[in-house]
Structures are given as C-alpha cells and as structure tokens.
Amino acid sequence: MPPVAAVNARLYRAFTEVARGMKLRGQDPGLELAGQFGLRRFIERHLAGGDAPEALEEPPKPGPWLERGARLRKEARAVSRSLTEAGIRHCFFKGIALLGRFYRLDERQLADIDLIVDLDQYNDALAAIHGLGFSELGGDGDWAPAARRPGVTLHQADLDADDEDTLIDLHWGLESLATVLPDEELMLPPTVWASVEQERGLPILADEHHAALVLHHLVRHDMLHIRGLLDFVLLWQAIPNQGGQMMTALARTLGVERALRVVGRIMVDELMLYPLRGVTLSPDDWRGRAALRRLRLKRWIAWAARHVTGHASHLRLTRSLVWRRFLLADAPQTGRLVRDLLAPPSEYLRWRWPDAGSDGSAWRRHLTSAFRPSQATAQTRTNR
C-alpha cells in the first residue's frame, strides 16, 4: 500500500471507531464523520485507490465545493497579480495553497482565502485589495476577540443578492499563543519569506514552513480543525528530511515547538509517518507529556467531532481551553491566562453575553459556562 493510502486508511479507521462510539447513523459512519469535517471526498478517493498523481487530474465531481474552490482560486490569482504588480511581498497558506497538489477542487472545503503580507507593505496591500472591490468585514468598531489579531477579514462589497461572498483573511503577522485573547504579534522571519516559491499561479511557502504555520493555526483554534490535521499530515509527508530542522526553527519562533513534539509523536506512533531529522518527538516536560495523553488520535478526533459546529469555541474562555493552551504553548503567560479565565475584561463579557444587562450578570454567566464540564469530558467520564 502506498504511503499516502496507508495514512488515509489509518485516519479512516480512526474516524470509523470514533463515529461508532458517537453512534453516528449512515451506511458508513466513518465517512459520515469525515463529511462533518469536510474531508469525505478526499478520504473516499484514497480508499478507492485514487492515490496516483494522475488521479488529481481526473475531472472533479460537480457540486458547491467545486464551484467555490474554483472561484476562490481564481480570486486568489487575481489578488496575487495585483499585489505582485504593486511590488508587495505576499504568500498564500492553508487550504487555498494546497488545492491541486494534495486536494482536488471538489475535495477541500474552503471558507476563505488565507493571505499573509509583509508588515511594512500592509497599507499598500490593503489599498490594492480595496481596488479589486473588497472591503473590511465587520468594520463597525465593535469589540471582538478576533478583531485584536494582526489581520483583517475582507469581503466583496458589491454583490448581487444571489452571489456568494468571497472572504479574504489578510494577515500581516500571527497571534502570540501565550494568551487566549490576542495580545502580541509575531512576524515571519526573513528566512521564511526567502523560501516562498511560485506554485500553480500562487506564491506558496516551503512545505516545512507551511507545516509550522498550520500547526500554529491548530493550536490557536484549540485543535478543533481536523482539516488542519490532515493538511499537516500531507505537508509532513512532503517535507524533505533536512527540512525538519527548519520546521522546528519556525515552530519555536511561533511558540509551538512543544506542540510540534506532541503532534509529531502522533504522526509517527499512530499514523506511521517517517520521523524527520531535526524534529524532536518526545515532549521533554510534564506539560508536553500531559498534552500528549489528551491528544491521542482518537481522543483528538472525538473532541473535535463534539465541537464541529462550534466555530467560535476557540474565542470563548473556558477552563478546558485555557488548560490546553497552557499545556501546548511554549511560553504561556500563566498569570494572564488565569486572570482572563476568572475575571475577563469587560469588553469580552459584553461581546460574549450581550443581553446580560450588566457586567456583573455577564461575569456570573461566564463563570457558570467556563467551568461547566464540556460534552466531550462528560462523555469520557461516562465511558470509563
């Protein structure tokens, strides 16, 4: 069995076992669960033996994912041409950057276009994208956790009623993971920008750097994005052996070297991927070991499955989220994490509980919600 097929077969088996434990209905519970994560067609193709490179050239299946993927890729190329003409350094990452290489257009659910630009050229980049008919989304001044990140979401301002909006998630940096509510910014080092290459009409990061950014995204989103897990798996397999050291270096810069040790251990032990030279797989402290116990593959998938509709879960301060951030981030601000959990800023309380009537009422509702055992935790206790 080819390596890619073997990995996908192992993922499928894990999906199936988790789906049965959740009592999912359907002819194939494993594929039903993969569908909830937006991965069904990809898993189906590999199970059917579509692992050869020419399988990516086969006509994709018609449907909304195909139409959206084709449209977003067309928009991304138009944005890239405009930025290139303006001399703005930029690159694409995550889903849009993986289409045509790992995923067919009909296989990868895309919510937006992820784009990062050089901080020094951010204003020029914003002007260029405005010139293509995009404007900031939610620019009404209301506070929200995501509004504090080093980036902005743009959408097409003038659309017909029947047209689907195109979203661009424009970054000039990444959030520090030392806290849950965004506070500090992290910039890409010059060595990362130097590795950008043109691929299928878009500037893309080197695989080892791309994988580190995907891992940062996973930790930031409380490990809930199983599509991101598969992205990381596929990038790991493509990284040249000497690239492990560069991935580790960027993971350290982004504050996720401990998370790399934990997730890398899962890659090798449970998905049987080859270890990469320069990537240490064994967590060397109690926090890493505690995180690994909680993130074994099936436990990880089950946790994400029970929160698959909670798109804003990583923005809501809860005991379990703060605990995982404390375990996985390289240098968590422990005092700030505890303070935000017990006494969040008033802006957060008003955003989270807009109908509470007062900060005191919102705070009491926050404590009740933040310390309530999650559904996943309750299920785990029930199964013991």
Q: pTM for this structure? A: 0.90
Look at residues 198, 288, 206, 203 and name the one whose alpha carbon lies nearest to residue 246.
Answer: 206
* Mean pLDDT score of the chain: 86
Q: What is the pLDDT of residues 319-368, one digit of tens each?
A: 988 999 999 999 999 999 999 999 999 999 998 889 998 999 999 999 99
Pairing of strands 151-156, 134-136: antiparallel
- Structure token pair of residue 255: 């504050």
More confident of the two residues 343 and 241: 343
Whether 139 shows a pLDDT value over 60: the answer reads: no
Tell me the DSSP string of 326-359.
HHHSSS--HHHHHHHHHS--HHHHHHH-TTSSSH
Q: How far apart are CA 172 and CA 88, in angstroms?
A: 12
> Which domains, ranges and CATH numbers included, belong to the chain?
3-304 (3.30.460.40)
Determine how many CB atoms are found less than 10 A away from the CB of residue 122.
18
Determine how many CB atoms are found less than 10 A away from the CB of residue 115.
26
| 8 A C-beta contact, residue 114 and residue 156 | no
Pairing of strands 113-117, 167-171: parallel
3-state secondary structure of 202: strand
379 pLDDT band, cuts 50/70/90, is: very low
Which residues in 10-29 are b (16+ Cβ under 10 Å) and which e? bbbebbbbbbeebebeeebb
Paired with 152 in beta bridges are: 170
Pairing of strands 151-156, 90-92: unpaired
Q: What is the pLDDT of residues 253-295, one digit of tens each?
A: 999 999 999 999 999 999 999 999 999 998 889 999 999 988 8
Whether 57 shows a pLDDT value over 60: the answer reads: no
CA distances to 208, 247, 260, 341 from 191, in Å: 12, 12, 20, 37
Residue 163 exposed, middle or buried by CB count within 10 Å (0-12, 13-18, 19+): exposed
3-state secondary structure of 49: coil
